[in-house]
Structure 1
């Protein structure tokens, strides 16, 4: 086994709440030429393991799976239907428009023809569909320029440069412009410096009036507009929000003040507005959420006085949307989706049929506010994503776009089961177990266990075109629904956050041990896989239970939980994790922080860390420092690898060619370590 590159220890010792904390690799947090050279050496070292026979054999199969179209959900506005589409052979998704759901598309913005490697990550049409705004970013950095396009002519009307972390939920159109929430750039450390402004079309952005300058600890803003009333929800983390309306007191859009619409409460509220009414998806007095409402001109409404429209049920209410005169509700029961249609007063009309174990992401649920129709992008473990139109009057659904490729049709019959595993405190934790028909429980199957467990993020059935070779080759894929998500409402989330974070790790271990006990696999053939907050999960798994896994795939992770709040968006995550500056929070963060629990002389499993130099959410220093510390401490012959993408961000903006290369790194590594093709 080749030795990893030498990494110099430069001891930094600081006292935190009476304890000495040693950080010998803090210098790897910096963006210097010295660090870039270290990253290059690590990439070269990783190549020695990742360029293996398994990768070579997977490459043609992955390239074939890349040559398929991908369709985003349809947005209907006015008499137009907008959609992001990536045709087979494209490297990036383009924006198209249709005159009806089944009409031929017209391309109105195509990043594949741009020169600078930019991506079009989101779009937001005006209410009549005559204009569309879209976000353009380079290298997945999520610092956006906003282009406003005339849909009929295809010509730009306006360009707003350097808008930071803007997105479609932070925009609201008027007849002559739009309100928008904008931040500073990641390069200048201003991602949390949020403002709300108003832009009049055909004016200089430097003249845009600022409505709100300082939003304090609020993480992001949700803007909606009805009858010229702007409704703003400020979200403080993932458990609490405040709802206001903008009351104008002059001629200009910037003249006025925020007036509290709903009285302050320790709960989450997400608005949907129409015809002077504000509908709110809330977990106030309803852990699995419900829909309540008030008038848009209300002031300081007590949450107890909000009108209940759709009550709480045993299924978790994820979202609602307004389609014509109907209210469409998306729920999840045991982490898969159901849809129901109500009238505006909350009387149930009918349910919309979905296949078993189908799932809809929150961003893949869009309605036509002016017609009795809505659109979803659904998927399951054994069916690629399809986009469907649903009629709110009849309940009928029609598939609008669905890919039909040879590689998808060649997928073998799959067994999909939802099983439950008992965690350390007795909690029953669900997990989806997916494998090819005929796979035997002989205790020796290569198995991948994927988890997340945080930020109310539910892990629902998803089709992954690059996972299918693993299933074809007899692998077992397991997706665990750990606490910290919202699968069973806000209580499930809170049992996996802050001082309860160890529950998430214990849930993960319970599923892993259960898979072994049920003779699906054994530790040497079991992989822990996670990314972002899921990277923290598998980082904790490898530091707490290195005996339980034969390999670990850890992407864009948080790993130093005593300094995460000092970088990029980290400060905003103290609501979810707690703050290292608080002595009580420090105690439990120190207890599980993966970086601080690496122990010299431990026999660790093989680990592939993945990060991106352009990540504007999770600082790449986490993966760098953890790699260095584990390479120095590891007493086994298993490699500890770091792969860094130099022209990528946390998640968005990756061209298909880069996605294929990353997936080959990941799955080639796992195939090799688990002996899938041997």
Structure 2
């Protein structure tokens, strides 16, 4: 099976290349039919390196499962390294034969080279934002003052000479004076957090070690921060040992980490992980408790008005019965997004002194609630409706004030803010639209383009449509289909079908230079919203996991059949792809329906779930 997957992935660029000429993106003329050609002999089969079959067998509940290629998991062995080098040699030789490869590379580099802005946040009197000049490996963090002057606060590309140190996150104090930022080395999950003076751009002496997964949260006065950390691993086990016993500490700016105060820990629950957050008014420390990858959470709170030694940890929302995500607070009321009794999400107010007293502010609807932010005296709610972004503005008692008119089919994200703010910023993107940053005045609903990317193509030359098709059990599944405007549905278009379908992840419209070039050359890019994802809430997620995981594979196969039946493409010009869980999806699809696809790209697929 492994050799089969590699062979299919290797031939993908060739199998999807159309037999007829394809118009260039700038061409307005039609191409005359090519003259008839004499039949040519089939190419000789590729000479793959031998892969010895081992005799490893595992037994599961009395059933023997052979794993003859287990030896390939030893990446350091001479046999594995030699096999990989031989496979890479075949791949390189095939790819180098593609006539237009140099032109494709040049076009990709041209399209990648455009200025990109992140979503800014207001910190003190400044805006703090990530900005990439086009070809930088990592986006520097910039400060924009009230006069419009711009300067680099942190350039992560300078953190190491070989590019192996990456920016893992940042958090600026409310007064805008200090930025905490995390760095990770060589792809490790371990993060080291440092503090930088925003005015001078120099680092303070503070260094926080042994942090993973979650960053810090500043106090209201900017004099300290709360953060989770692990104990220092034993020598030689920092990269291989398991991590248990996370704790929450308080760090006073200007002191060594060894002087930090333990704030919360549960020695009887070593697998619990924590995400501390100080509320906007500085009154409450809200600790979201997580258990592995389970999306359900618990919540613990501490009243920061009380002295440290007198503070009690109150289990506000115990039991891991639902998802709870802090949105903000108003005195004793804490606002949470939750799916408790609402699979598509709702916003509730919980009384910190009487947790059983809860008020629904924004009820569950047919849309799926993605995010809620408090900006000024309003809630800004982001939703998914058939996997497309919708945004609404509500008063603090939950009353709907207005719906925003977004630019089209796409994904809106960002919307950060606090009670002191009057505006918020967000990014909007689509399959043929690079992220554009917008400014929203929440009181009036006024939208203004803040940063629009200048790119070497016209987004108006492309269209995205949303179609619905029936899966094997009759369930209607939506799918985005994007291509050049004016494309003819004659059943012969090269098509790339990309899927995921798992872990409550929603596949919404997003921009990719590689996909844009694919469409520019006449290809179709299709993305179905498979069960197992989060596009329609928890019920949609549950319909694609564990004993009903086959639904995901059925949805994907049905998407391919729909594209063929509706004359978008045909089997020999249909490629499928996915990464991680999506790689598993592709592996299952070509195993169950190998005749349906012309090529497959299972990227880093989790193929052996028995040993995952």
What TM-score do you get using the length of structure 2 for normalisation? 0.85
Q: What residue is the counterpart of 2:134 in the other structure?
A: 88
Counterpart-to-counterpart distance in 1, 2:552 and 2:155: 42
Q: Provide the rounded CA distance (Å) in 2 between the counterparts of 1:457 and 1:7.
A: 36
Give how far 1:556 is off.
2.6
Aligned partner of residue 266 in structure 1, secondary structure = strand
Residue deviations 1:236-295, cap 9 Å, x none?
435411111136798558x85532112436221111223433111111111211100123
Shift of 1:140: 3.5
Gaps of 5+ in 1: 565-678
CA distance in 2, matches of 1:270, 1:554: 33
Residue matched to 1:195: 247
What residue is the counterpart of 1:32 in the other structure?
Answer: 76
Equivalent residue, structure 1, for 2:175: 128
- The 1:137/1:239 distance shift into structure 2, 3 A limit, reads closer
Tell me if structure 1 keeps the 8 A contact 2:282–2:304. no
SS of structure 2 residue aligned to 1:485: coil
Query: Please, which runs of 5 or more residues in structure 2 have no aligned partner?
Result: 1-44
State how far apart, in whole Å, the 2-side matches of 1:537 and 1:108 are: 42
Measured after TM superposition, the shift of residue 333 of structure 1 is 0.4
Q: 1:20-169 alignment to 2 at 5 Å?
A: 20-34=64-78, 35-53=80-98, 54-100=100-146, 103-114=148-159, 115-117=161-163, 118-160=165-207, 162-168=209-215
Equivalent residues of 2:276, 2:285 under 8 A apart:
no
**Aligned-pair CA distance for 1:392:** 0.7
CA distance in 1, matches of 2:410, 2:523: 22
Structure 1 residue 342: Cα displacement: 1.3
What does residue 378 of structure 1 align with?
428
Within 5 A, what are the aligned runs for 1:65-464?
65-100=111-146, 103-114=148-159, 115-117=161-163, 118-160=165-207, 162-168=209-215, 171-173=217-219, 175=221, 176-182=223-229, 187-190=239-242, 194-210=246-262, 211-212=264-265, 215-218=269-272, 221=275, 223-225=277-279, 226-236=281-291, 237-246=293-302, 252=308, 258-264=313-319, 266-276=321-331, 277-295=333-351, 297-298=352-353, 301-302=355-356, 305-361=357-413, 364-405=414-455, 407-409=456-458, 411=459, 413-464=461-512
In structure 1, how many angstroms separate the alpha carbons of the residues matched to 2:274 and 2:69?
A: 33
Most deviating of 315-324 and 89-98: 89-98
Residue in structure 1 matched with residue 3 of structure 2 by the alignment: none
Q: Which residue of structure 1 aligns with residue 549 of structure 2?
A: 501
The offset of 1:359, in angstroms, is 0.8
Do the aligned residues in 2 keep the contact of 1:453 with 1:504 (CA within 8 Å)?
Answer: yes
- 1:627 equivalent in structure 2: none
CA-to-aligned-CA distance 1:451-472 (integer Å, 9 cap, x gap)? 1111221111112122111111
1:149 aligns to what SS in structure 2? strand
Counterpart contact for 1:412–1:472, Cα < 8 Å: no
Tell me whether 70-79 or 311-320 shows the greater mean CA deviation.
70-79
1:510 aligns with 2:555: no
**CA shift for structure 1 position 436:** 1.0
Shift of 1:208: 3.0
Contact 1:166–1:181 (8 Å) recurs in 2: no
2:190 aligned counterpart, secondary structure? coil
Q: Does 1:482 align with 2:530?
A: yes
Higher relative contact order (CA 8 A, sep 6+): 1
Say whether the 8 Å CA contact 2:248–2:274 is kept in structure 1. no
Provide, for residues 353-387 of structure 1, a one-character-per-residue CA deviation record: whole Å limited to 9, x for no partner. 211212124xx332244112111111112321011
Deviation at 1:422, TM superposition (A): 0.5
| Conserved 8 A contact 2:211-2:228 | no
Which sits farther off after the overlay, 391-400 or 230-239?
Answer: 230-239
Deviation at 1:122, TM superposition (A): 2.2
Deviation at 1:216, TM superposition (A): 4.6
Distance in 2 separating the partners of 1:43 and 1:222: 46
Q: Match of 2:514, SS?
A: coil
Q: Give the structure with higher Rg (CA).
A: 2
| Further displaced range: 470-479 or 38-47 | 38-47
The answer to whether the 8 Å contact 1:134/1:148 transfers is yes
Find the aligned partners of 1:46 and 1:372 in 2 and give their Cα distance.
55
Counterpart of 2:29 in structure 1 is none
Q: CA RMSD in A?
A: 2.5
Cα distance in 2 between the residues matched to 1:55 and 1:222: 49
CA distance in 2, matches of 1:308, 1:134: 36
Question: SS of the residue aligned with 2:321?
Answer: coil
CA contact (8 A) 2:117 2:132 kept: yes
- Corresponding position of 2:573: 525
The Cα of 1:481 is off from its aligned counterpart by: 0.5
The SS at the match of 1:403 is coil
Distance, in Å, in 2 between the alignment partners of 1:541 and 1:172 is 47
TM-aligned CA distance change 1:526 to 1:5, over 3 Å = same
Please list the CA deviations of residues 412-462 of structure 1 after superposition, one character each: whole Å capped at 9, or x if unmatched.
622211101101111000001111122111111100111111122111111
